Structure 1
Amino acid sequence: MQMDIVEWINEHWGIAPEIQLKVFYSVLVLFILTVLRQFLQKAVFWRVTDFRQRYNWKSSIRYTFIILGIIVISIIWVEEVDSFATFFGLISAGLAVALKDPILNLAGWLFILFRRPFEVGDRIQVGDQAGDVIDIRAFQFTLNEIGNWVDSDQSTGRIIHVPNGKVFTEAQFNYHQGFSHIWNEIRVMITFESDWEKAKEILDRIVAAHAETFTQSAKKHLLEASKKFMIFYNTLSPVVYTTVKDNGVMLTMRYLCLPKKRRGTEHAIWEDVLKEFRKHADIDFAYPTQRIYFNPQEGKQKQADQ
């Protein structure tokens, strides 16, 4: 059977028999590996329903078969062990010079796989790009962009492809690692004439009600995070800070929330603040104002009184 194939190829293509066999075996290996990969992937998808596990299995299977195919085809084309080592040595030297950036990206991929600075599903920022990680491949990872012209870390709908080599040259900010919660602050400015103590009590009550669930959840994750990172907080409870500004009294609500819930919690808290402040005539929002005096003497007298 083998000789028939060789004779047919030699007759029609005029290629040396040794090369013909190697080409034939290479194509056969690729075909078999492709079929096996598809079969294994479908078997995994049939048994696994979680989308994150499906993605991890799919990536692992793909890269395993790619590496296996490279090894098998290399063995087919380079028969002797010494020649095999020499072959890979020359190839490695050439690639190091000609493919510097792709090799750096491949090294970044290995760093991401083993060091795990982030995983699929994490919300991260690398340099000026921020988004949710939706794919990690050998040469680049993909983000579903957030921020930019959209406020409060909401999705823009754009996809960002970032070279893996960026993990060696850019700082990575991970919203999910640690204890999986972030601190958020909402600033409320009221006039000096307002009853700031009453306003602070109202804000304390509102932020405590909205952040209670997140605070309890953060306490559970903090213990696990402290085993890996030097992370500790004296308190995780929401708090309202008081500061005096040029235009009035600044009351800042600081609380914990999940990274992807930041805008939702802000929206709910602000609506409650507006509803509660509307019930109290002695609480007014402050904003930049200017005073104009048409009578110079009146202006001087007011300044003297102050």
Structure 2
Amino acid sequence: MSEFLSILFDPQQVLSVVAKTLFVIFLILILNTILNVVRKGLLLKAKTKKQISNVEIFTQIFRYFFTLLIIIFAVLSYSSAWSSFGIFLGFLSAAMGFALQKPITGIAAWMMVVTKRPFDIGDRIIIGDVKGDVLDVTLTHIHVAEIGGLIDGEEKSGRIVMVPNWLLFERNIVNYTSNDDFVMNKVVVNVTYESNLDHAIEIVDLSARKYLAGIIGMSPGGPEIRLDFQASGIDVQVKYFSPARHLHEYSTNITKEIFDRVRVSGDVEIAYPHTEVVFRKKGE
């Protein structure tokens, strides 16, 4: 009580308290202004209700945390407890940093996704060993509709995988649909060395163009033929762009068309492991 009265009747002490109080109010106003600017910027980037909710929660947490921190510093500035508080704050920040390392990293990753946009809702991505379509991005996890999963392929598995956000800083991120909806795919057929290679190339090219005719104009390029020597024949490859979500559908149709055309051709054969025995008379 005596300390309070001494401050109350000392003009310099009163001015000091008023100045510090005004400075605290000024800091809080500056903090709210900065957080409002950040909040508006993040809301412009948010697309779903969950993302909007995440932005609101995120800004509220930071507002309360920093306001409380400013008030604590202001109260301690009236006493001589700075040294002990500094030691306590150092231990507390070290402990919280260790315990909340991944959650804090996850929030930083969420901010990176919201601002930098390495992928958007609906994009088909690969993060580490998880592959699928992005359903939502929360403060802590990315919700992915898995493709493949228990079986090989590009079809949806029916499972939802929740990827922790902090993994974004430790894994490669592959975005199928960053620029457009098309990705490179290929179909390979191995034909025997006795086959008519030019006819085989024609069969593969026509088979691909039959099913790609409707999308060649929208894709980055048309089908291209490539050849490689193999032990039992020659690989005839057709490389083409197809919609990322229909890779297996197009490769299946092209494979079936190639097979049907080879069967009716008289000079192209598909190579496969088999044994051929040739008998010759002695002296021939």
Q: Distance in 1 between matches of 2:208 and 2:151?
A: 24
- If you compute each CA radius of gyration, which structure gives the higher value, 1 or 2? 2
Deviations 1:98-146 (A, max 9, x none): 2111111111111111111111111111112211111211011121222
The residue identity in structure 2 corresponding to 1:281 is G
Map 1:186-201; keep pairs closer than 5 Å.
Answer: 186-201=187-202
Report what 2:156 is aligned to. Answer: 155
Secondary structure at 2:133's aligned position in 1? strand
Secondary structure at 1:165's aligned position in 2? helix
Contact residue 208 and residue 223 of structure 2 kept, 8 A: yes
Structure 1 residues 78 and 281: CA distance shift in structure 2, 3 A: closer
Q: Calculate the TM-score normalised by the size of structure 2.
A: 0.69
Q: Distance in 2 between matches of 1:165 and 1:154?
A: 27
Structure 1 residues 104 and 84: CA distance shift in structure 2, 3 A: farther
Report what 1:104 is aligned to. Answer: 105
Q: How many residues align?
A: 229
Q: Distance in 2 between matches of 1:206 and 1:85?
A: 79
Note if 1:136 corresponds to 2:127: no
Report what 1:66 is aligned to. Answer: 57
* Pick aligned residue for 1:240 from 221, 225, 233: 225
Q: Distance in 2 between matches of 1:271 and 1:84?
A: 78
Q: Distance in 1 between matches of 2:242 and 2:191?
A: 25
Report what 2:168 is aligned to. Answer: 167
The percentage of aligned residue pairs carrying the same residue is: 25
Map 1:1-306; keep pairs closer than 5 Å.
Answer: 56-67=47-58, 69-70=60-61, 80=71, 82-83=73-74, 90=89, 95-219=96-220, 236-291=221-276
Q: Calculate the TM-score normalised by the size of structure 1.
A: 0.64
**Pairwise CA RMSD of aligned residues?**
3.3
Pairwise CA distance, 1:190: 1.5
Deviations 1:161-199 (A, max 9, x none): 111111111111111113432111100112222222112
Residue segments in structure 2 that go unaligned for 5+ positions in a row: 1-43, 78-84
Q: Distance in 1 between matches of 2:129 and 2:206?
A: 36
The residue identity in structure 2 corresponding to 1:269 is I
Secondary structure at 1:282's aligned position in 2? coil
Residue segments in structure 1 that go unaligned for 5+ positions in a row: 1-52, 220-235
Pairwise CA distance, 1:211: 2.2
Q: Distance in 2 between matches of 1:74 and 1:108?
A: 20
Q: Distance in 2 between matches of 1:172 and 1:78?
A: 37
Deviations 1:186-216 (A, max 9, x none): 0011222222211211211121232233332
Q: Distance in 2 between matches of 1:178 and 1:191?
A: 39
Secondary structure at 2:215's aligned position in 1? helix
Pairwise CA distance, 1:238: 0.7
The residue identity in structure 1 corresponding to 2:105 is L
Contact residue 247 and residue 287 of structure 1 kept, 8 A: yes
Pairwise CA distance, 1:78: 8.0
Deviations 1:58-103 (A, max 9, x none): 024312432454367669978948459999x957665323211111
The residue identity in structure 2 corresponding to 1:195 is N
The residue identity in structure 1 corresponding to 2:142 is F
